[in-house]
Amino acid sequence: MSSVVGFWAVAALLIAVPSPDWAFAISAGLRRHVLPAAGGIVLGYVFMTVVVAAGLGLLIASTPSALTALTLTGGIYLIWLGIKTVRHPATVDRPVGGGR
């Protein structure tokens, strides 16, 4: 039972704590592409859950070189996302005619 409670605590933190997911979802919302973005985020969490449930999380955590490679890969990906966001920031489109 403690594993289930621990899982739900981590899941709640992943949802509540601002992260690159939030930035991605906000950016997608500004471009009106919310459903594909939210679907991708949900699939990512499902994939993480399956990987850990299959025991691969423990295997990676117990192999320092695999954990280091995964950490570096994730860090490089986040840096790439940051550069991409700075180069092409999301903008809010205003309706033709000026609106308010």
**Domain assignment present for 99:** no
**Domain assignment present for 77:** yes
**Domain assignment present for 33:** yes
Considering its fold, how many domains does the chain have in total? 1
Between 96 and 53, the higher pLDDT residue: 53
**Domain assignment present for 36:** yes
When pLDDT is cut at 50, 70 and 90, the band that residue 21 belongs to is: confident
Best CA proximity match to 70, nearest among 18, 5, 78: 78
User: What pLDDT is attached to residue 93?
Assistant: 66
Residue 68, pLDDT > 90, answer yes
**Domain assignment present for 95:** no
**Domain assignment present for 10:** no
**Domain assignment present for 13:** no
Question: CB neighbours of 20 closer than 8 A, spacing ≥ 6?
Answer: 78, 81
Q: Residue length, the chain? A: 100
- pTM for the full predicted model: 0.53
What percentage of the chain has pLDDT greater than the value 90? 17
Residue 75 structural domain: 19-87
**Domain assignment present for 28:** yes
Best CA proximity match to 45, nearest among 65, 61, 26, 25: 25
Say how far apart CA 33 and CA 26 lie, in whole Å: 10
Note whether 39 and 45 are within 8 A (CB). Answer: no
